[in-house]
Amino acid sequence: MAFANAQEMLDAIQPATGGTEIHDPATGELVGRVAEQTAGDLDAAVASAKAAQPGWDKLGHEERKRLLNAAADNIEANAEALAELLSREQGKPLNGPNARFEVGGAAAWLRAATAYEVEPEVIVDDGETYAAKHYRALGVVGAIGPWNWPMMISIWQLAPSLRMGNSVVMKPSEYTPLSVLALVHILNEVLPADVLHVVAGGREVGEKLSSHPDIAKIMFTGSTRTGKAIIRSSADTVKRLTMELGGNDAGIVLEDADPKAIAQDLFWGAFINTGQTCAALKRLYVPEAIYDEVCTELTAVAKAMPMGNGLDENNVLGPLQNKAQYDIVAELVADAVDSGATVLLGANPDEQAKGYFYPTTLIADIAADNRLVTEEQFGPALPIIKVKNSAEAIEHANSLEVGLGASVWSSDRAKALEVAAQIESGTVWINSHGTIDPRIPFGGAKQSGYGLEFGIDGLKSLAQPQIIKG
């Protein structure tokens, strides 16, 4: 069914009484309530998903593709209600690359999971020996999602899992459970019973999911620290893992770049979702020759971007989603200011204002080893580091133990590609940052995780390869 608005959708998913209250990070107002689920609820969900999985697998690829596309249709039929709920719970504005963008992306990525054929691959066929690789369903996949893009990242996890014949049990972030509960409710209006479950609980549920003997694979997006805990707890059952962990992405500007031409894309590379994106640009290295000009042009763009309540159609930047993240950003910026760095914009939050709003902040003349540079801020604050040349920038970019994404900005594609090849990260973008594509594999290097998502590689990562010889 199509819900008329977010409140009607909330009435369908929240408990009649009780539950944990979820508040709007922009206003502090009550958004809704979520039932308090436990490890026992998780056990029941896993058992149900395990029982339903063989029948889902037997439907075959074509029928699963049909149902997933029908589920995408249902997302689109409920797009505005989903976007309103997402804006109220997560804080991101309706407009810009935010709530409506995320809901549209959820439908698009769901369809993308149906766009590839996964056929057996003949490995050897020489007249004497024949061997082929087949891709079989794993069983039940456990998906643990974050609070920054709760709907879209849930789709990144569940769509390829379901396409490949697995059933799924999801644990959303405690900060944004309503968005995921609503999304799953919409999907389950189309999907067969019990192939997709969501259990909205706390740490106990997450720990149980990552160690549960009937979970074949864990897909996790979140911090490196939590990812390491999941890896440890999954070891006894030797689960398959896809881990998309912390970022702190570097951007490197080359001397031939046009500061005015790249300023808008630099801004959105860093400040998409108000900086709350794993693969956002979080430290920018700029050569001395054009440093001042880049700072000037980027500041001009940033000043023009309105921040406020996400339900106001004029805003494109919103609050931090929660107080803990607000405090991290505030502390790191204060540390940079105390060190003598130059504040180009922001860095002076109104402590009396409602909501977790931290102003759009640009920090220049900052040391490469300052905490705002070396620690992932995950918010609307960008340090701009002056370097002598690209060699120094590459050295700084590679100095940290993370490597999710990076970018190179140049008017000379050959030079940009030469620099990109020297950066230790899972993805390097040229003249953009964080522009993911459902057709193109995405995954981290170093302590930013392992395993690929998206495209045919992402589908195959949700299957057990089986060689049949004879």
In which band, very low, low, confident or very high, does the pLDDT at 269 lie, cut at 50, 70 and 90?
Answer: very high
Structure tokens at 325: 């993240």
Query: How long a stretch of residues is the chain?
Result: 470
SS3 label, residue 122: strand
Structure tokens at 366: 């900052």
Position 174 pLDDT exceeds 90:
yes
What pLDDT score does 262 carry?
Answer: 98
In which band, very low, low, confident or very high, does the pLDDT at 417 lie, cut at 50, 70 and 90?
Answer: very high
SS3 label, residue 108: helix
Q: Strands, DSSP E only, in 257-358?
A: 281-287, 342-345
For residue 378, give the nearest of 180, 157, 175 by alpha carbon.
175
pLDDT above 70 as % of the chain: 100
Task: Mention every residue, 6+ apart, whose C-beta is less than 8 A from residue 203.
Answer: none
Lateral strand order in the sheet of 130-137: 121-125, 130-137, 463-469
469 forms bridges with which residues in the sheet? Answer: 131
CB of 20 within 8 A of CB of 36?
yes
**Cα–Cα distance between 264 and 458 in angstroms, integer?**
31
Q: Where in the chain are all domains bearing CATH 3.40.309.10?
A: 249-430
CB of 253 within 8 A of CB of 430?
no
- Cα angle, residue 376 at apex, residues 255 and 410 outer, rounded to 5°: 15
Phi, psi of 221 (to 5 degrees): -125, 125
SS (H, E, C) 124-148: EECCCCEEEEEEEECCEEEEECCCC
- Cα angle, residue 72 at apex, residues 69 and 74 outer, rounded to 5°: 115
Top-confidence residue, 57 or 17: 57
The CATH homologous superfamily for domain 6-245+448-469 is Aldehyde Dehydrogenase; Chain A, domain 1 (3.40.605.10)
For residue 154, give the nearest of 136, 131, 177 by alpha carbon.
177
Region of 301 (left: φ > 0; alpha: ψ -120 to 50; beta: rest) is alpha
Element counts in the chain: helices (H) and strands (E)? 16, 20
The CATH fold assigned to 249-430 is: Aldehyde Dehydrogenase; Chain A, domain 2 (3.40.309)
Which pLDDT tens digit goes with each residue over 35-84?
989 999 999 999 999 999 999 999 999 999 999 999 999 999 999 999 99
What pLDDT score does 236 carry?
Answer: 96
Position 129 pLDDT exceeds 90:
yes
Phi, psi of 143 (to 5 degrees): -120, 125
Q: Is the dihedral of CA 173, 177, 181, 187 positive or negative?
A: negative
Which pLDDT tens digit goes with each residue over 105-118?
999 999 999 999 99
SS (H, E, C) 370-407: CHHHHCCCCCCEEEEEEECCHHHHHHHHCCCCEECEEE
What pLDDT score does 343 carry?
Answer: 98
**Cα–Cα distance between 209 and 216 in angstroms, integer?**
10
For residue 395, give the nearest of 373, 422, 413, 416 by alpha carbon.
422
Active-site option among 244, 297, 376, 453: 244
**Cα–Cα distance between 429 and 435 in angstroms, integer?**
8
In this prediction, residues 208-222 reach a mean pLDDT of 97
Which pLDDT tens digit goes with each residue over 307-346?
999 999 999 999 999 999 999 999 999 999 999 999 999 9
Which pLDDT tens digit goes with each residue over 335-384?
999 999 999 999 999 888 899 999 999 999 999 999 999 999 999 999 99
Mean of all residue pLDDT scores within the chain:
97
CB of 93 within 8 A of CB of 317?
yes
Structure tokens at 348: 């002076």
Considering just the CA atoms, what is the radius of gyration of the chain in Å? 23
Structure tokens at 337: 């200011």
Separation in Å, CA 303 to CA 255, 306, 360: 25, 8, 8
pTM for the model: 0.96
Position 1 pLDDT exceeds 90:
no
Q: Where in the chain are all domains bearing CATH 3.40.605.10?
A: 6-245+448-469
244 catalytic? Reply is yes
In this prediction, residues 411-427 reach a mean pLDDT of 98
Phi, psi of 384 (to 5 degrees): -115, 110
Structure tokens at 81: 């209600």
